Amino acid sequence: ARVHRHAQVNDLAAGLLDGGEDHVAPVGDCRGAGDQQHIGRVGQGDAFPHDLQGHGGGELPWFKVADMNRAGNEIEMLSADNYVSREVALAAKVTIFEPGAVIFPRVGAALLTNKRRLLTRPSIIDDNTYAVVPNNRIRSRFLYLSLLLVDMGSICSAGLGPTFRFS
């Protein structure tokens, strides 16, 4: 799995540097107040009420962890099993994450798969998922590639089910 992850990183890095439009921009000093490094903000997804599930139409995909396994979603999240309208999302008071956010599972065995995915459109994610939204100092593809190198198993909380928490 580790070799595959490095091959994936190498392939993507080559694509970023071969004249494509999403080049890695100079990041400069990413330090913020209090001498802490800041690359963006982190958010957790929202619970997905059962009565909203199963709708194939709508403006906003509501991605579940299982959607990361769909064909075509290996790097970018392009399709979902569930979609909702913006009106439904506003009524449900859920967070709509912007394109360029990097998502990954936050609990259980899915966390240990080390999956990372890029959002390509405004999206909702379920509560078993975290999103890292890059600030204007870092490109989303660079953040994605960097997060691929992190082995979640080495930094998650031990217990009945592995979990990852930002503190």
Secondary structure (DSSP) of 46-103: B---GGGTT---SSEEEE-GGGGGSTT-SSEE---S-EE-HHHHHHHTPPPBPTT-EE
More confident residue, 24 or 59: 59
Distances (CA, A) of 26 to 6, 14, 18, 118, 139: 22, 16, 16, 20, 9
Predicted confidence at residue 65, as pLDDT, reads 95
Least confident of 88-97, 105-114, 133-142: 105-114
The Cα–Cα gap between 115 and 106 comes to 10
Report percent pLDDT > 90 for the chain. Answer: 46
Q: What is the pLDDT of residues 12-38, one digit of tens each?
A: 444 444 433 333 323 233 334 433 357
Mean pLDDT of 57-83: 95
pLDDT at residue 33, as a whole number? 40
Note the pLDDT of residue 19: 38
Is residue 55 scored above 80 in pLDDT? no
Which pLDDT value is given to residue 31?
Answer: 39
Tell me how far apart the alpha carbons of residues 161 and 33 are, in angstroms, rounded to a whole number. Answer: 35
Type of residue numbered 141: R
pLDDT band at 153 (very low <50, low <70, confident <90, very high): confident
pLDDT of the residue at 15: 46
- State the chain's mean pLDDT as an integer: 77
CB atoms within 10 A of CB 41: 11
pTM, 2 dp? 0.74
The CA distance from 113 to 125, in Å, is 18
Per-residue DSSP letter, 157? B
